[in-house]
Amino acid sequence: MTAQLIDGNALSRQLRAEVKARAARLRAAGTTPGLAVVLVGDNPASQVYVRNKVKACEDAGLHSVLEKYDAALTEAELLARIDTLNRDPAIHGILVQLPLPPHIDDHKVIEAISPAKDVDGFHVASAGALLVGQPGFKPCTPYGCMKMLESIGMVDLRGKHAVVIGRSNIVGKPMALMLLAANATVTVCHSGTADLAHFTRDADVVVAAVGKRNVLTAGMVKPGAVVIDVGMNRDDGGKLCGDVDFAGVREVASHITPVPGGVGPMTITMLLVNTLEAAERAAA
């Protein structure tokens, strides 16, 4: 068996075309979806992420505002700026790029964003809505993973066992909640879980989100399982790779996401989807 690729680039193009069409209808009705992206400091990776997000907005017909601040910006100044954006009717989504400089409390900043504009899905109110199954914004990376599962027909996971390797609030925990909402039986592990293979060999779906190369190898995967690789690492040659031993696991799994070209493009796409939905709710 050689696994079919779940092409994140292709699915992303499809979803962005839908966003563009919906955004055009919303503009015709008098509302232009707006996203404010706030960058503090000069982290090189953050600058790349921010540029990609702003360009994606423009390509999809969304209005984007990029605000760059020196790393010396105080926490109080950043909170004041977020308060202003919360009250700006032209802005429907606010994204503060992480990480922030050490003197600024990430959690305090995230909680300052209005839940109605929390298009990154990190606010406590968003997490609570996800937990109880109420409308809210889903964190973009797990949301993208679920869309990838849906693309291969895995919408209702009743009777399926899913293993999430990674317990972070950004991916692991919300991913587990979304899988539970799809009726899966879910086990959450991490890279240090004793006998990790004991859990993964029983899984119909494995989501690897640790940030560690080869955390999942072929012998740890049940034949025919679906494998979603959220990891972003570099191999010994400097080439981008995920958390999964792709070459080995591909010969066992039924479906697998590549790195690059898998979950990565879906993360930005779901940010666009969330921003559009925020604008649609505001216009309703």
Instruction: Assess whether 4 carries a catalytic annotation.
Output: no
By residue range, what is the domain housing residue 86?
A: 30-115
Q: Please state, rounded to an integer, the average pLDDT across all residues of the chain.
A: 95
pLDDT at 251: 97
For residue 134, the model assigns a pLDDT of: 84
Residues whose CB falls within 8 Å of the CB of residue 132, separated by 6 or more in sequence, listed in order? none
Whether 160 and 256 share a structural domain: yes
C-alpha distances in angstroms, 121 versus 31, 95, 160, 257?
A: 22, 10, 26, 23
Are residues 229 and 198 in contact, defined by beta-carbon separation less than 8 angstroms? no
| 157 pLDDT above the threshold of 90 | yes
> Is there a domain that residue 23 lies in?
no
Residue-level pLDDT at 271 = 97
Which amino acid makes up residue 282? A
- The pLDDT of residue 117 is 98
Shared domain check, 145 and 251: yes
3-state DSSP assignment of residue 66: strand
Conformation bin of residue 177: beta by default, left when phi > 0, alpha when psi is -120 to 50: alpha
CA dist 12 and 147 (Å) reads 10
Q: Is residue 107 one of the residues assigned to a domain? A: yes
Count of all residues that appear for the chain in the document: 284
Q: Out of 117, 118, 120, 173, which one is annotated catalytic?
A: 120
Are residues 93 and 63 in contact, defined by beta-carbon separation less than 8 angstroms? no
pLDDT digits over 6-37, tens only?
999 999 999 999 999 999 999 999 999 999 99
Comparing C-alpha atoms, which of 138, 136, 32, 50 is closest to residue 92?
32
pLDDT in tens, 172-181: 999 999 999 9
124-144 per-position pLDDT tens digit: 999 888 888 888 899 999 999
Known catalytic residue: 14? no
Question: Does the pLDDT at position 225 exceed 90?
Answer: yes
What's the pLDDT at 127?
A: 87
Distance from C-alpha of 267 to C-alpha of 16, rounded to nearest angstrom? 12
Residues 83 and 153 in one domain: no
68 is catalytic: no
Q: What pLDDT score was predicted for residue 170?
A: 81
Residue-level pLDDT at 253:
98
Question: Is the domain of 101 the same as that of 167?
Answer: no
Whether 129 is covered by a domain: the verdict is no
Mean pLDDT of 206-213: 95
For 92, counting Cβ atoms within 10 Å of its Cβ (0-12 exposed, 13-18 middle, 19+ buried), the class is buried
Q: What is the pLDDT of residues 90-107, one digit of tens each?
A: 999 999 999 999 999 999
Q: Are 173 and 158 in contact (CB under 8 A)?
A: no
**Using alpha carbons only, how large is the chain's radius of gyration in Å?**
19
The answer on pLDDT for 1 being more than 80 is no
Residue 88 and residue 147 in one domain: no
Residues 160 and 257 in one domain: yes
Q: Where residue 185 sits, what CATH number does that domain have?
A: 3.40.50.720
Please report, for residues 2, 80, 209, 229, 244, the alpha-carbon distance to residue 250 in angstroms, rounded to integers and kept in the order given.
6, 49, 17, 12, 9
The pLDDT score that the predictor gives to residue 44 is: 87
Q: Which of 115, 132, 151 is the last residue of a domain?
A: 115
Residue 110, domain CATH: 3.40.50.10860
Catalytically annotated residue among 4, 14, 47, 53: 53
Do 81 and 152 lie in one domain? The reply is no
Which residue in the list 7, 14, 88, 97 is annotated as catalytic?
97
Q: Residue 68: in which H helix or E strand, if any?
A: strand 63-69
Q: Judge if 111 and 148 occupy the same domain.
A: no
Given pLDDT bands bounded at 50, 70 and 90, which one contains residue 45?
confident
Same domain, 153 and 235: yes
pLDDT at 200: 98
Predicted pLDDT at 133: 80
Same-domain pairing of 184 and 101? no
Q: Which residues pair with 96 in a beta bridge?
A: 38
The model's pTM: 0.94
- In this predicted structure, the answer to whether residue 205 has a pLDDT above a threshold of 90 is yes
Split at pLDDT 50, 70, 90, the class of 48 is confident
Domain total of the chain: 2
What pLDDT does residue 144 have?
A: 97
pLDDT tens for 182-202 read 999 999 998 889 999 999 999
